[in-house]
Amino acid sequence: MRRFFRNHLPDHDTIRRHRWLSPVQHWLHHPNLWHLHRRSVAGGVAIGLFCGLIPGPLQMLAAVLLAVAFRVNLPVAAFTTLYTNPITLVPLYMFAYEIGIRVSGASNGSAIPAFPEVHWQDWFGEVWVWLMALGQPLLIGLPLLALGLATIGYISVRLAWRLMVVWKWRRRQVR
């Protein structure tokens, strides 16, 4: 797994020397932000999954800020937020809405507002009005879904990393 990430992620010196990042360069020196080990990558995946449900273009910014604050792998955290896109956003938000209904005890008979007919000129406005119509169950369900995805992601990466290490140990013993 380490080799895969090392081949697909940019070098940390390249990112640190970027001219737009010069004001915050001193925050980017912690080794956990760039090294690929199981705790750092698992934390980056968890933060990316958590921040992926933040509406709008603030997902990556929030993931980067939390990665710096918690000192986990920054590129992995930013990349993991990409699981939400225009195709997956609606099913994820509907699932969060269902979680919110079950947790809040709202009546199951309340109808889910129909998804609007989206026009490319004003798609964000139409989707925003639809989200506001979902109300309290969505506000309860989104953080719960984000915490659940982050927990599952963290445990999955740690478990997969451990299984790969054990598999490589056994393969080395056979040789």
CB 38 within 8 A of CB 160: no
Q: What is the mean pLDDT of each run of 10 residues along the chain (175 residues)?
A: 67 64 60 84 97 88 93 92 90 90 72 67 72 78 96 97 95 92
Say what the pLDDT of residue 115 is: 65
According to the model, what pLDDT value does residue 50 have? 97
Q: How many CB atoms lie within 10 A of CB 86?
A: 9
Cα separation values, 39 from 32, 35, 72, 164, Å: 9, 10, 8, 15
Residue with tokens 């599952």: 152
The pLDDT value given to residue 4:
72
pLDDT given for residue 96 in this prediction: 92
Residue from 134, 133, 137, 139 nearest 105 by CA: 137
Task: Parse the chain into domains and list their residue ranges.
Answer: 2-174
Contacts 24+ apart (CB under 8 A), 51-59: 51/77, 51/81, 51/146, 52/80, 52/81, 52/82, 52/83, 52/84, 52/146, 52/149, 53/84, 53/92, 53/96, 53/142, 53/145, 53/146, 53/149, 55/131, 59/84
Question: Distance (Å, rounded) from C-alpha 60 to C-alpha 81?
Answer: 6
